[in-house]
Structure 1
Amino acid sequence: MTGSTSLDTYIKSVYGDIEPESCPFTEAEIKELEDTNELLVYMPSGRTPAELCDMWGFRINVDFTSESYIRTVMNDESHWFITSNSSSPELLYRSGQEARRNYEDEGLHGLDLRRYLAFAAAFRHRWGTLPDQKYWCFLLSGSYDRSGVSVVGFDGRGVLSHHGWMRNFRAKFAGSRYSVLAPRLEVTAETETLSRAYRGQRSKIGLEAAID
């Protein structure tokens, strides 16, 4: 999606009549998403996984209202993020802990449950179908219980499943998804030139902080 009109259409279609936070990604960064095969996603603060599933009509096989072991991040902060628009996760047959190390080396984050649901809604808005209907996806920015990790995916009937797994588990049907947070809080003349992180680019320029 490109331009403020497309962003407005996306927000209206997915969230209804809300006033989103200003997008901290630049016009140039948004325009290149078509070339990088990525998707811009908005995550408003305060929405619980159960509320998001209800709002978007996601059928689920777990009671998120009663599930107390799932940990999510940035719950009180509305934020925009970029992620891959692929219909399946990457890094298949790689454990969650290996994928997380790869992402951190590139200045990237993982998804948590709320971000994943927001991504699925944006993906459906864009492509008219749900992602990950044949795979599981590690949620590497969240956690399950004290040391586990959540894995999620939609089955062939469009029902969302969730399980808590070990971070060092790997399978050929399980992969991961990254998220890119903007390198700035707002777009100004001073911050516009700051570089975002990119998948596959291990460069200090995309890290949030580094040492010379």
Structure 2
Amino acid sequence: MVELQHRLIPTQALSDFVADHPVLGAKDFESHDFQLVKQAIKADLNADQGGLCAYCEKPLPAIEGQIDHIKPKAGANARPDLRFVYGNFAHSCINPKTCGQKKKNGLLPIEPGPGCNAEWSLSTDGTIEPLPELTRQRRHAVTQTRDMLGLNKDSNLVDERKRWLNSAIAVLQQVPADFPEFLQSAPYRHILAAAF
């Protein structure tokens, strides 16, 4: 998962929209007037996330994907007060098996942010697993987060992570000095970094 750090100053178009519409509801997020704002938000989130999906870390162009509410805007766990808050947004790919589409209105035990990868590791088979030394409660939180996002359910995603892990190992063995640069540009770089 991307160790997301949102910019300190939110997207100007979002700030302007919120200022111009003092009473905002659920329908406003899908409104025609908000579509250009969404594009600007996605571009900023994409930059904040280094061009990766916040959840699976696949490369994600700024014009693709969706704005996912980390804390959901609807459902049993709804946080309508955060519906238009930049710090509650993540740029997510659109895949019914993974990420924001899979999470739907669920509340993640572990959210994308600094340190979010501290309790799991990337196995040599490309799956994401909880660290063995975790308490039962923390193992459950890690497993629940991973499963809510479908991070081990898409075989293409698992295979791709395995290929990048093998590439990382090869770089580390053959040209260790190049490893930091490799990690900075690789997809899955946050989960790869947790593996080393």
**TM-score between both structures, scaled by the size of structure 2:** 0.30
Which structure shows the bigger proportion of residues in helix conformation?
Answer: 2
**TM-score between both structures, scaled by the size of structure 1:** 0.29
Which structure shows the bigger proportion of residues in strand conformation?
Answer: 1
Larger radius of gyration: 2
